[in-house]
Each structure stands twice: as C-alpha cells, then as structure tokens.
C-alpha cells in the first residue's frame, strides 16, 4: 500500500498522535518529521504541508499539552474550601507533569530549537490561566486589592513550576514522603502569603 496523500484533519490528528507518542517515548529528540511521517504511514510532504515542518509539529504539541492540562483542571470539582481547591489544582498540575514529563517540558521549557512561542501561541494557555486565576481569587477573598488575583495566580504558578523542576532533579526531597510534604507546605505557605499581601489597604491597616 502506498503512502496516503490526502491532507485531511484526520491525517493531521493521526500525525500529531504519532508525534506525541514519539515525544513520550524518547523526548524532543525523537520527534522528527521523517519519524512522524513514517509512524503514520504518510509522506514527509504531508507532514510539511499540514504542520509547516518540525516547528509546526512542536507548536501543535505545545497547544495539545495545554489542552490536555486544561481538560484535567476543568474536571476538578470545587470542595467549598478555597485553599484546598488551590492545592488540589497545584497537585493536578504536578500529576500531569509526572505523567507527561516531555510534554510538560515542551509547554514550559522549550526543548525544540526550531520552536519559540509567539504571542499568538499564548492563547493555548488562556483556559488554564482563567481556571487558576478563578481559584486563587476565591482563596484571596473579597477584600483583595484590585489586580492582585492575577498577580498572585502568576506568582503561585511560578512557585509550582519551580517545585516541579526541583522534584524532577531529585532535589526536593530524598524520599517520596519528604517531597510530598515540602510540595504541599510550600504551595500552602505561598498562597497564604499572597493572600496576606493581597488584602486591600483598608484591610491591611
């Protein structure tokens, strides 16, 4: 059977699925246009036409990663405890990073030399950003100063990413129990500190 030549959305989805499998198995170095084409039984020309080369494949993986993470975060049901809900969000991001380490790296570290996100690519993260801001705003409370929910959400997300980097390097703790304790402690302490800082001037005095 010859290679398929029809450039369809279905073929694009199959090529992306192959790229995701290659990424999961071997990291960014395993994702080449030739390997993706071969894995889908398609031509190299089809990959280039549908994705615009390796940079386009990386861009598609970048967007797919944020879509997958957003789906996981959407599935989390609020508990009625805003602080616990934020911690649950952080733990869900951590679970995703553990499950999909190479995809997480594509989203937050830039392992593909051919791909550097542009402003338009930021749209891939918008839903995650909205979910995090919403939960952080609830934890900060109604007396927060204007704009602090967004600022605090970015700060907290950066804290989580830093913890994930330490954990991936084996530097967050020598045992699973220590790592777990430090992750939860740091996220909770950061949130409480941000909540204190976010109080309106009237409340703080």
User: Would you list the domain boundaries of the chain?
Assistant: 1-52, 58-204
Long-range contacts of 154-158 (CB under 8 A, 24+ apart): 155/190, 155/194, 156/86, 156/90, 156/132, 156/187, 156/190, 156/191, 156/194, 157/93, 157/132
Percent of the chain with pLDDT over 70: 94
The pTM of this model reads 0.90
**Coil, strand, or helix at residue 85?**
helix
CATH of domain 58-204: 1.10.357.10
Whether 9 has a pLDDT exceeding 80, the answer reads yes
Q: What does the pLDDT read at residue 204?
A: 39
Whether 33 has a pLDDT exceeding 50, the answer reads yes
Q: What tens digit of pLDDT does each residue of 109-167 get?
A: 999 999 999 999 999 999 999 999 999 999 999 989 989 999 999 999 999 999 999 99
Q: What does the pLDDT read at residue 5?
A: 52
CATH of domain 1-52: 1.10.10
**8 Å CB contact between 166 and 182:** no
């Amino acid at each position: 059977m010859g290679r398929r030549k029809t450039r369809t959305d279905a073929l694009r989805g199959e090529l992306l699925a192959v790229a995701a499998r290659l990424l999961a198995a071997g990291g960014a170095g395993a994702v080449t246009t030739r390997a993706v084409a071969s894995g889908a039984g398609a031509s190299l020309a089809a990959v280039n036409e549908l994705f615009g080369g390796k940079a386009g494949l990386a861009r598609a993986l970048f967007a797919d990663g944020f879509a997958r993470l957003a789906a996981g975060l959407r599935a989390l049901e609020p508990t009625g405890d805003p602080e616990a809900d934020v911690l649950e969000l952080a733990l869900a991001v951590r679970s995703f990073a553990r499950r999909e380490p190479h995809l997480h790296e594509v989203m937050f570290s830039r392992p593909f030399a051919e791909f550097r996100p542009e402003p338009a690519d930021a749209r891939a993260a918008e839903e995650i950003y909205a979910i995090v801001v919403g939960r952080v705003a609830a934890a900060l409370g109604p007396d927060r100063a204007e704009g602090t929910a967004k600022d605090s959400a970015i700060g907290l997300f950066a804290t989580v990413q830093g913890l994930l980097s330490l954990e991936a390097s084996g530097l967050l703790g020598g045992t699973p129990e220590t790592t777990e304790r430090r992750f939860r402690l740091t996220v909770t302490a950061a949130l409480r500190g941000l909540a204190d800082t976010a109080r309106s001037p009237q409340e703080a005095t």
